[in-house]
Amino acid sequence: MVALTLEEYESINPETTVKFRGQDLKYWTPNHYTENRARCLFGKGAMWERETVRWISSMDEDDLFVDIGANVGTYSVFAAANKLEVIAIEPESSNYSALNRNIKINDFDSQIT
């Protein structure tokens, strides 16, 4: 068995933290595409899908947000950070795995189903 250093492990399982309206949102970003998406969606660079972010932001605390085709959970994590109850549905296995990692690293297990 080969032991990895923390730095080696993090290079295999990298996380990107982005700030959005004073909140730290964490995303598992195993490749350049997922890192760029996390940074552009809520952080630096051109923000994608501004209307979706505005719509989620306009919801009242404890509203239910259903994310059909949740992908890796970008919007699910954002909605949970805004104190919404979330149901995230993702059928593709690798996206589902990343979605679950993103839920776990943000400690939203009780908020996102």
Instruction: DSSP for 4-16, please give it.
Output: PPHHHHHHHS-EE
pLDDT at position 34? 82
- pLDDT below 50 — which residues of the chain? none
Evaluated on CA atoms 30, 34, 38, 44, the torsion sign reads positive
Q: What is the pairing mode between strands 64-68 and 85-89? A: parallel
Fill in the amino acid letter for 73: G
pLDDT at position 70? 95
Could you identify the residue written with the tokens 């970008």?
74
Prediction pTM value: 0.80
